[in-house]
Structure 1
């Protein structure tokens, strides 16, 4: 079954009230995700039980979303005019949010040989934008699952996304328990 759904962006507030709170949570999620990657070399390219992707693909997807979040933050924090864009709602299939096409991983995902350097560069770019985040009332960009979000809510969404995929990878890892 396929349907469209918009969620209340207020649910993102649990990830932090202030920019400093959300930035600290981002650091914790990035640390935890990066740490989780270290144990996955043995099954890096293997599709995970109950999942459509391998850890390589999951990581590539998270990095694509992180890059998109950094770009949206850069725009929202700038003086550049915002152009109206498409306001399509995200797709929900069998109770799961579906990744927008632009954030889908490649068939093989990121290679193990490249993941550490690319993860660190991706992280640095996101953290650089996050360090400047503030609320931007009146300056919003559409998100397919939450609707119009300002810069602080976009950062909250990014934090949520990283943690969500870290927990999914932990659930599929051999002998690992997902943490909150």
Structure 2
């Protein structure tokens, strides 16, 4: 069963509007991450990720989402792996390519954070046709348009920023 995706439109209904929101959410996430430094490597609960691991996961998934946005700029999609998402105890689980290490310091993640999110913004700004009717499969939300992928990239930051608080 696929997750509901109608909430994505709350993040904006046009490419430029969602790009502006993405800029805001990148900054808000970074601010929240910087406030977690006193317990950066310590999970809040048993079995949960630490703020460092959450941030590394966000970097890895943002990197993958920038590749998807770039794919929408090509005449044909490249051959990406398409896997169905896994649920555990009612929670969406990260795909293997989004799993973090044991945790890295903010100093070790900061450069990758910055480069990854610059690439994500550049990939979004490079989209010429926000009405592109092609879709690409998301592991949990099914077929998403280019605008929905941008909305999802923005939502992913919001979701994990809330986990930091």
TM-score by length of 1: 0.83
Distance 1:32 1:12 in 2: 18
Q: Once the 2 structures are TM-superposed, how far is the Cα of residue 82 of structure 1 from its aligned partner? A: 2.3
CA deviations over 1:142-174 (Å, ceiling 9, x no partner): 10111111211111001111100000111xxxx
**Measured at CA, do residues 122 and 88 of structure 1 come closer, stay the same or move farther in structure 2, by a change above 3 Å?**
closer
- Corresponding residue pairs, total: 164
Instruction: Specify which of 118, 125, 132 is matched with residue 137 of structure 1.
Output: 132
**Alignment equivalent of 2:39, drawn from 30, 38, 43:** 43
1:110-156 CA-to-partner distances (Å, cap 9, x unmatched) read: 33322222211111111111112342533221101111112111110
The one-character-per-residue Cα deviations of 1:78-128 (angstroms, maximum 9, x if unpaired) are 22x22566654312222211111111111x223332222221111111111
In the other structure, the counterpart of 1:68 is: 64
| Corresponding residue SS for 1:148 | strand
Structure 1: 5+ residue stretches without partners: 171-180
Q: Which residue of 2 aligns with 1:55?
A: 51
Name the SS for the 1:45 alignment partner: coil
Deviates more, 1:66-75 or 1:10-19: 10-19
Contact 2:36 2:164 in 1 (8 A): no
**Unaligned runs of at least 5 residues, structure 2:** none
Q: How does 1:12-23 map to 2 (within 5 A)?
A: 12-23=8-19
Do the aligned residues in 1 keep the contact of 2:137 with 2:143 (CA within 8 Å)?
yes
Residues in 1 aligned to 2:81 and 2:125: alpha-carbon distance in whole angstroms: 28
Q: Does 1:150 align with 2:150?
A: no
Where does structure 1 differ by over 4 angstroms across 4 or more consecutive aligned residues?
A: 83-87
Residue 50 (structure 1) shift: 5.8
Question: Aligned pair 1:90/2:88, yes or no?
Answer: no
Q: Say which SS state the counterpart of residue 17 (structure 1) adopts.
A: coil
Q: Equivalents in 2 of 1:122, 1:82: separation in Å?
A: 21
Q: What is the alpha-carbon distance in structure 1 between the residues aligned to residue 12 and residue 46 of structure 2?
A: 31
